[in-house]
Amino acid sequence: MHEWQQWMYKNAYVVPTTGTYSITAVNSKITGWSLKPSADVWYEAGFSKN
């Protein structure tokens, strides 16, 4: 166990705890969009021509 701990300390600098990430691409013409969990974006989101 001690040898494994030494190997991890020397070789595995960062051990990921999750393998997921999130990417949200939103056009600059989208209005009312929010990533807040409490936001109900489906009826507040819209599209602007400008």
4-23 tens-digit pLDDT:
888 888 887 776 777 777 78
- Tokens 């600059």 sit on residue: 28
Instruction: For residue 43, name the pLDDT band (cuts at 50, 70, 90).
Output: confident
The angle formed by the CA atoms of residues 30, 37 and 50, to the nearest 5 degrees, is: 10
- Look at residue 41 in the predicted model and tell me its pLDDT: 67
pLDDT in tens, 22-36: 787 878 888 877 777
